[in-house]
Structure 1
Amino acid sequence: MRQNPSFTLADPAEIKRLIRVNPWATLVSNTDDGLVASHYPVLVDESREELSIVTHVGRPDEQLHELGRHELLVVIQGPHGYISPGWYDAKPAVPTWNFTAAHLSGVPEILSDEENFRVLGGLVDHFENRMPHPRRMEGTPENAAYAQRISSGTVGLRLTPTRVVAKSKLSQNRSDETVDTIIGELEGDGPYASPALAAEMRRVHERMRAAR
């Protein structure tokens, strides 16, 4: 991912926040048989101070990815959307795409069966916590027994990346007036409305303005 100093996202706390809010990730490996990509939810490993994530793959994806033999690239994609030049510039201009993303690379650690089971439980809790009546993986003896059986079909992993490239391209190079106009369009009802992207832009630019 090409970097630009204006858009570099280097704060580990912000990258962790990006992952927490956007946990659906793409896992990419360059194997002996070529490129392999899979898609799984990931969690920030809150037990570690440094940036680290945990997840699982379903068998036989661990073989397809040759997990543990080489680097794994995990792509986190945050809010993104089309930005029309017609929203803010009457002069000749080109459109762009605003987005947030992080690329985490490193050789993953394969988890023991016990730790993998804990990670699976954490994944379930992470998403079920929003439900009015959460279904816990071990909420009942029957659920726990079922979870124990099916967990054998998964392989857990932890990635503590040795290389991180993260980018937050949210019109930081535009004037406050232009940014406010873009946010208004994204919050509207047009064909490229994106409330999530608008909220991310508003959050970032409010922090920028407060720091001036």
Structure 2
Amino acid sequence: MRQNPSFVLGETAEIKRLIRDNPWATIISHTSAGELVASHYPVILEESAEDIVLLGHVGRPDEQLHELGSHELLVVIQGPHGYISPGWYDASGAVPTWNFITAHLYGTPELLGAEENLRVLEELVDHFEERMPEPRRMNGTPVDAAYAARISAGTMGFRLRVTRLVAKNKMSQNKPAETVERVIAELEGDGPYASAALATEMRRVHDRLGR
């Protein structure tokens, strides 16, 4: 991903927020056979780590496809994004664009043993179930524990310490404040390209810039 100084997302805390809010990841490998392989799985953060460390899993077939643990992976996290019409700017000449927030995270995954893999799967389920009125944990009863252990055997857990990254937050930072407000108003409206999530992300960025 080409970087642009105007749109750099450089704060570790903000990248971690992006991951927490958008845990559905694209995992990409360039294998020893010269093939590109991509899979899609949820990831969570190892919250105790100061740096960015991802915890996740893949199915056993995908473990083999990616040659998991033998080389560097690219993990792509994508946040809110959407079309920005030039009609939302002003009467001067303009072209359409796309606003987005994304992070490309690189690292060689560490494979987890069966016990730690099960723990990570439990954390993953808890991460999503905690919002439910009656959360369904993986290990709620002895029967659930046996079932969880059986299911986890078909997965391979991993820990990925991010060793390099490119992160970008393109939210009209190069536009005047009045233009930004018009864009946000359109995104918050009911038009064909309305996106409340993208509008919220834009407000967050511009509030941090003090606009």
Task: Report TM bin, short chain.
Answer: over 0.9
> In 2, Cα distance between the equivalents of 1:197 and 1:140?
41
Corresponding residue of 1:75: 76
> In 2, Cα distance between the equivalents of 1:140 and 1:96?
51
- In structure 2, list runs of 5 or more residues that go unmatched: none
1:41-120 superposed matches below 5 A: 41-120=42-121
Deviations 1:118-169, CA, capped at 9 Å, x for gaps: 1100110010011111001111221111001110000000111111100000
Corresponding residue of 2:199: 198
Task: Specify the SS of the correspondent of 1:63.
Answer: helix
TM-superposed CA distance for 1:89, in Å, is 2.2
1:157-196 superposed matches below 5 A: 157-196=158-197
Corresponding residue of 1:15: 15
> In 2, Cα distance between the equivalents of 1:139 and 1:179?
48
> In 1, Cα distance between the equivalents of 2:128 and 2:107?
26
> In 1, Cα distance between the equivalents of 2:61 and 2:73?
16
Deviations 1:4-40, CA, capped at 9 Å, x for gaps: 1110001011000000000000000001230000000
Residue type at the aligned position of 1:129: E
Residue type at the aligned position of 1:15: I
TM-superposed CA distance for 1:50, in Å, is 1.1
> In 2, Cα distance between the equivalents of 1:116 and 1:71?
20
Corresponding residue of 1:130: 131
Task: Specify the SS of the correspondent of 1:209.
Answer: coil
Corresponding residue of 1:121: 122
> In 1, Cα distance between the equivalents of 2:79 and 2:90?
26
Corresponding residue of 1:141: 142
- In structure 1, list runs of 5 or more residues that go unmatched: none
TM-superposed CA distance for 1:75, in Å, is 0.2
Deviations 1:42-92, CA, capped at 9 Å, x for gaps: 001112111111100011111100011111000000000000000112111
Task: Specify the SS of the correspondent of 2:7.
Answer: coil
> In 2, Cα distance between the equivalents of 1:92 and 1:174?
14
Residue type at the aligned position of 1:10: G
Residue type at the aligned position of 1:35: L
Q: Percent identity?
A: 71
Corresponding residue of 1:24: 24
Q: TM (normalized to structure 1)? A: 0.97
Alignment coverage as a number of residue pairs: 210
> In 2, Cα distance between the equivalents of 1:132 and 1:69?
41
CA RMSD in angstroms comes to: 0.9
